[in-house]
């Protein structure tokens, strides 16, 4: 997984957000103007207790998902969902018709599998989702330590079943050099903090307008709850300073 950068090379606001995330504190990430223009609420997956799942769905209001860096996802054999749909279209033609084309905010989606941990019951409760989310972080760490990476998919199947109630989003192979989504932003911030780059998130919605919560309201929420808010453009610039070329 991505090693943490030297402390003095990045802006203080980025380091503060990375440290907060690594300690298990929720943080807010806005992607960038001209893209989704959404703020997501994030918690490091390994610290995602049932109480944190409740907070994500209560204060976020969108989909509770898990963002995972590409390296462990590849070892575990996690596919992009659009590739799964495309590969099955000959048998199920409707799947070919539903493959995303021309997304308004990006070239392609980061969605992979939807899973439940095998120890869960329905998988939807806060307790069950916490079990699934924390196990995804543990499994990503274990994947990077495998002597034989070919065991990755078997290990994943021993721990999780699909379909389930937690969606996994897999980062671009070049991280923020390849895509500026919340998946890449959150996993980059986790890596900067020296944590396992597997992060639970939820989009922040506005029940009054029926749209995404605007950036000023998201910043107000952060201030009133003592949480850190980070603009994705600041993080992207810092990432490029830390890693000026893709690996």
Supply the pLDDT for residue 232: 93
Tens-binned pLDDT, residue by residue, of the chain (247 aa) = 666 666 667 999 999 999 999 999 999 999 877 677 899 999 999 999 999 999 999 999 999 999 999 999 999 999 999 999 999 999 999 998 987 776 666 667 899 999 999 999 999 999 999 999 999 999 999 999 999 999 999 999 999 999 999 999 999 999 999 999 999 999 999 999 999 999 999 999 999 999 999 999 999 999 999 999 999 999 999 988 877 666 5
Domains and CATH numbers, the chain: 18-206 (3.90.870.10)
Supply the pLDDT for residue 210: 96
Supply the pLDDT for residue 2: 63
Given a contact cutoff of 8 angstroms between Cβ atoms, the answer to whether 94 and 104 are in contact is: no
Residues whose CB is less than 8 angstroms from the CB of residue 193 and which lie 6 or more positions away in sequence, other chains included: 4, 18, 19, 21, 22
DSSP H stretches of helix in the chain: 12-22, 50-55, 70-76, 81-87, 93-98, 126-144, 152-159, 182-192, 215-224, 232-242
User: Cα angle at 246 between 102 and 198, to 5 degrees?
Assistant: 75
Euclidean distance between CA atoms 35 and 129, whole angstroms? 29
Supply the pLDDT for residue 198: 99
Supply the pLDDT for residue 167: 98
Burial class from Cβ neighbours inside 10 Å (0-12, 13-18, 19+) for residue 48 reads buried
Supply the pLDDT for residue 5: 61
């Amino acid at each position: 997984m991505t090693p943490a950068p030297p402390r003095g090379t990045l802006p203080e606001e980025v380091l503060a957000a990375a440290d907060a995330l690594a300690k298990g504190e929720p943080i807010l990430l806005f992607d960038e103007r001209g893209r989704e223009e959404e703020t997501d609420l994030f918690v490091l997956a390994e610290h995602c207790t049932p109480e944190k799942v409740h907070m994500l769905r209560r204060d976020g209001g969108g989909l509770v998902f898990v963002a995972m860096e590409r390296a462990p996802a590849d070892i575990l054999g996690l596919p992009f969902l659009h590739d799964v749909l495309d590969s099955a279209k000959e048998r199920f033609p409707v799947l070919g018709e539903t493959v995303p084309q021309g997304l308004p905010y990006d070239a392609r989606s980061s969605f992979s599998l939807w899973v439940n941990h095998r120890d869960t019951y329905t998988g939807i409760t806060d307790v069950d989702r916490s079990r699934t989310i924390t196990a995804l972080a543990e499994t990503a760490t274990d994947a990077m330590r495998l002597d034989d990476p070919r065991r990755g998919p078997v290990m994943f199947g021993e721990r999780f079943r699909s379909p389930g109630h937690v969606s996994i989003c897999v980062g671009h192979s070049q991280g923020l050099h390849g895509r500026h989504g919340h998946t890449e932003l959150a996993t980059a911030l986790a890596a900067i903090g020296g944590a396992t780059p597997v992060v639970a998130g939820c989009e922040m919605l506005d029940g009054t307008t029926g749209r995404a919560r605007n950036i000023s309201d998201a910043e107000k929420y952060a201030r009133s709850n003592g949480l850190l808010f980070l603009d994705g453009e600041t993080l992207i610039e810092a990432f490029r300073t830390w890693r000026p070329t893709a690996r």
